């Protein structure tokens, strides 16, 4: 089943469990991700910090694996494949961005 759930619609225990799963997985950086990190001036240390200390933004299975989006206090965002440990991508987002134009219909249960 394909789904996308905003973290605000998950229970605290679900958020805690997903974050723990992220901490427990052995992270893998593929060549594409390493290029994106370099292009976007994001270090592996920043990615690791985001996994360790970031806020869960969303959970989804849109690509047939379980992925989470995490954002740290500096705006570094990562998408992590929980099943394979792959860092899918990383980018910087303005920390004040509250996604005024987010497509709420794309989320199960809204935002």
107: pLDDT strictly greater than 70: no
Does the structure show a pLDDT above 70 at 3?
yes
What's the pLDDT score for residue 60? 87
The more confident residue out of 111 and 37 is 37
Average pLDDT over residues 57-83: 91
**Is 70 exceeded by the pLDDT of residue 98?**
no
- Give the burial class of 100: count Cβ atoms within 10 A of its Cβ; 0-12 exposed, 13-18 middle, 19 or more buried: exposed
Is 70 exceeded by the pLDDT of residue 19? yes
């Amino acid at each position: 089943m394909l789904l996308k759930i905003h973290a605000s619609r998950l229970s605290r225990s679900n958020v805690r469990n997903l974050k723990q799963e992220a901490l427990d997985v052995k992270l893998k950086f593929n060549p594409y991700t390493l290029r994106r990190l370099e292009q976007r001036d994001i270090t592996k240390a920043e990615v690791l910090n985001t996994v360790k200390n970031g806020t869960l933004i969303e959970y989804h299975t849109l690509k047939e694996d379980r992925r989470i989006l995490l954002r740290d206090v500096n705006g570094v965002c990562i998408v992590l494949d929980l099943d394979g440990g792959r860092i899918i991508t990383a980018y910087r987002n303005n920390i004040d961005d509250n996604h005024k134009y987010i497509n709420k219909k794309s989320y199960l249960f809204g935002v």
